[in-house]
Structure 1
């Protein structure tokens, strides 16, 4: 069955606000970023249809922002997550054949942590002094600044009017999640490690803005690529376990154009360093992934728990474009992730 017959999602015009002035949530795949979520207009209800307290609603809301930038043989990843009870963040620079530099911080109750409430406006930051990272959001792109143990970055990811993946989906019985991703973005600026500059001219980057009232216990598998293929910018985002209520957050970008993809399947042995297989239902993607590095964290903090593994490695296989062309990925640098969270 051809992809055109197998998977044709309905794309809605992006509303001015995700929550309208009546408190109604807009759900679906959208054709553009939503600058204003207007979360304060939303009233969360219990599973028995009773309004929860403002305090309970505050602690039920989760959000995170993530930036990944890939060069020919290096990858920089930076994350900030606010789950209300605690805020966490990490930054690392992977270089093929060299030790990976890793940095991480925890902020109980979010003290010293800031998250933007919009993918187009505001600032997210973590840490202070000699170890800190900051993400600034704007309608035309995101800026990433990092200062941590010899790692210094001042980088800009430009949207260049490229359409993002923007999705609002129900989660659980009474929640929802808004996620916005944009991959294969042009990168400019500077990146240094111990005073040595890394070449960012051929680098490509991706952004992830996710927020909402997520399941108390959740898990996902995720795949992300930002690269050049056949001289054109190529990006891939696949996920399984979240945002799958009739729609998916699966998409690829090639030469500035987005292509929505069918549901994804991840086959792997958890905790074993064996290749993954990543495919889609309609056959657009058929890849293997082998990890070179794993950023992992296991936390058990009373009400909270996290079993997190983010892998850097290489993808091989095929990706089929909407027009029938097939891209052959060979040792393409990217990410894979396996995460369980109780928050």
Structure 2
């Protein structure tokens, strides 16, 4: 199913200001924040400042290549914006990054639409344009010169999920993995063959808990001539549904909940990621870490994103098994207070 064939939903909210919860059948054209009736824990209508500052939005793109893992991120938590990109060199186990933090919307923008939007951080030269559901990602620097389109397959589709969060909030998550790439990528002037690349994206937004944390795992790979994408998470979208998804040659399989067993104090120890139903049974061995700790009192972030190898077995809903043996991907452990 192509992105253009998915558009059936104008807004995430109905006329009563209530979101459409559960797995959606299509990408919302816009979130429709103006329709949302945000209430306090005492059931009063929240004031305009609370409604503005409590909204958060994140966008992330990962690209897997034979030689590099590339990540591009943007976040708007209203009080400030954060963007980074990194290039992980598989051969040397070296990770080079660039990052910026900007206050109160200064020289950056994230638009609340997963269908038609332009997001950018001028200070870092990062830009994500979404047009009719298709993602275009650009980075302009000496380290990374990139202008790519993420192309969805002719079957399947993205994960599109909205769940209740906290007392009166909500979180919308849209993710799609194992996407073909067109365009150009240069790392330190070296041109890559984009036909060998696979990518995944993450659009997450909403009124999340003001103190929250999550664990996450993601991979994009070709294994035994099958195009495999995985998104696994715990900590946010778990009220009645999970965002756990497996893509096999474009076909999407929605999965049950998973557990993340790992040691925060020892970044070299392997992780175990598994589900009670046996569909997910993976070991993750970290190779490199991108971390950042920010403590501004009322605002805090403790972020760790790992590059490493996945091994184990994935099982789709039809009972087919897909063994993984040292397949590169990402995990993440994040605490935030906002």
State if a TM-score over 0.5 links the two structures: yes
Select the residue among 227, 231, 237 that pairs with 1:237.
Answer: 231
Q: How does 1:141-152 map to 2 (within 5 A)?
A: 141-152=134-145
2:53 equivalent to 1:59 = yes
Q: CA deviation at 1:140?
A: 4.6
Match of 1:10 in 2: none
1:61 to partner: Cα distance: 0.4
**Correspondence for 1:3:** none
Equivalent position SS for 1:57: helix
SS of match in other structure, 2:221: strand
User: Alignment partner of 2:202: what SS?
Assistant: strand
1:31 counterpart = 2:40: no
Q: In terms of mean alpha carbon deviation, does 134-143 or 101-110 score higher? A: 134-143
User: Once the 2 structures are TM-superposed, how far is the Cα of residue 21 of structure 1 from its aligned partner?
Assistant: 2.4
**Residues 73-123 of structure 1: CA deviation (Å, up to 9, x unaligned):** 311100100001110011001111332220000001121111121111111
In the alignment, does 2:309 pair up with 1:293?
no
Aligned pair count? 329
How far residue 160 of structure 1 moved from its aligned partner, in angstroms, is 3.2
- 2 CA distance for matches of 1:20 and 1:155? 35
Distance in 2 of aligned mates of 1:39 and 1:160: 30
Match of 1:88 among 47, 59, 82: 82
List aligned pairs for 1:218-297, cutoff 5 A.
Answer: 218-272=212-266, 273-297=268-292
- Map of 1:159 onto structure 2: 152
Quote the Cα distance in structure 1 between the aligned partners of 2:111 and 2:130.
Answer: 8
Change (3 A) 1:247 1:14: farther
CA distance in 1, matches of 2:46, 2:133: 37
**CA-CA distance at 1:194 after TM superposition:** 1.9
Secondary structure of the structure 2 residue equivalent to 1:56: helix
Structure 1 equivalent of residue 195 of structure 2? 201
SS of the equivalent of 2:51 reads: helix
Equivalent residues of 1:14, 1:30 under 8 A apart: no
1:342 alignment partner in structure 2? 337
User: Residue deviations 1:266-285, cap 9 Å, x none?
Assistant: 00001311000111221111
Q: What is the aligned partner in structure 1 of residue 106 from structure 2? A: 111
Tell me which residue corresponds to 2:4: none
What is the CA-CA distance between 1:14 and the residue it aligns to?
A: 6.3
CA offsets 1:184-224 (integer angstroms, 9 cap, x no match): 11111111122111222121111111110010000000000
Structure 2 CA distance for aligned equivalents of residues 59 and 155 of structure 1: 32
Distance (Å, rounded) in 1 between the aligned partners of 2:223 and 2:311: 12
Q: Name the structure 1 match of 2:96.
A: 101
Cα separation, 2, equivalents of 1:234 and 1:14: 27
Deviations 1:29-84 (A, max 9, x none): 11222222111111211000011111111001000111111112311100100001
Alpha-carbon distance, 1:17 to partner:
1.6
Q: For structure 2, which runs of at least 5 residues remain unmatched after alignment?
A: 1-6
After superposition, what is the alpha-carbon deviation per residue over 1:118-174, rounded to whole angstroms, capped at 9, x for unaligned?
A: 11111111133xx31100112252011001333111111012354110000000111
Which of the numbers 309, 312, 317 marks the counterpart of 1:314?
A: 309
Alignment RMSD, CA only?
1.4
* Counterpart contact for 1:261–1:280, Cα < 8 Å: no
TM-score, normalised with respect to structure 1 = 0.93
Q: Name whichever of 92-101 and 182-191 sits farther off.
A: 92-101
Is the contact made by 1:153 and 1:190 (CA closer than 8 Å) also made in structure 2?
A: yes
Aligned to 1:7: none
Which residue of the other structure, out of 121, 135, 139, is the alignment partner of 2:128?
135
